[in-house]
Amino acid sequence: MGMGHGGLVAYVEAQIERDIALGRIHPSGQFGSEAKLARHYDVCRGTTREALRRLAARGVVVQRPGRKTRAVPLDESLSLENLGLALHDTRSPDARWLLEGYFSLRRQVLVELLSDCCARASKRDLDQLGSICFGLWDAARWESGASCAQVEFELLRLAARVADRPGHVLLVQSLQRAFMVGAAQLLPLLGGEPLRQWANCAKDALHDRDTRAIQHDLPALMKAHDDLVLDAFAPAPRIPAAPEAHPIKEGSLGAPVAAVEPEDDAPEACPCVEGRSLGPVAPELTTRERGDGLGLLHADAPPTRPCGPPCANVASAQKGSPRLDHPAQPP
Q: Return the pLDDT at 248.
A: 52
Q: Return the pLDDT at 301.
A: 45
Q: Return the pLDDT at 291.
A: 42
Q: Return the pLDDT at 317.
A: 46
Q: Return the pLDDT at 296.
A: 36
User: How many angstroms from the chain centroid is the CA of residue 104?
Assistant: 18
Q: Where in the chain is the domain with CATH 1.20.120.530?
A: 93-233
DSSP string, 270-322: PTT--TT-SSPPPPPEEEEE-TTS-EEEEESSPPP---SHHHHHHHHHHHTS-
pTM for this entry: 0.62
What does DSSP assign to residue 209? T
Q: Return the pLDDT at 186.
A: 87
Q: Return the pLDDT at 243.
A: 60
Q: Return the pLDDT at 13.
A: 87
Q: What is the mean pLDDT of each run of 10 residues along the chain (331 residues)?
A: 68 86 82 89 92 89 87 78 76 84 95 96 96 96 93 97 95 89 81 95 96 96 95 78 55 48 48 43 44 40 50 48 47 44
Q: Where in the chain is the domain with CATH 1.10.10.10?
A: 5-77
Q: Return the pLDDT at 247.
A: 53
Q: Return the pLDDT at 276.
A: 42
C-beta separation of 35 from 45 below 8 A: yes
Residue pLDDT, tens place only, 135-173? 999 999 999 999 999 999 999 999 999 999 999 999 999
Q: Indicate the class that CATH gives domain 5-77.
A: mainly alpha
Cα 21 to Cα 86: distance, rounded to the nearest angstrom: 7
295-to-8, 50, 283, 285, 303 alpha-carbon distances in Å: 129, 130, 18, 12, 21
C-beta separation of 156 from 107 below 8 A: no
Q: Which CATH number fits domain 93-233: 1.20.120.530, 3.30.420.280, 1.20.1250.20, 3.40.718.10?
A: 1.20.120.530
Burial of residue 172, with CB atoms counted within 10 A of its CB: 0-12 exposed, 13-18 middle, 19 or more buried: buried
Q: Return the pLDDT at 26.
A: 82
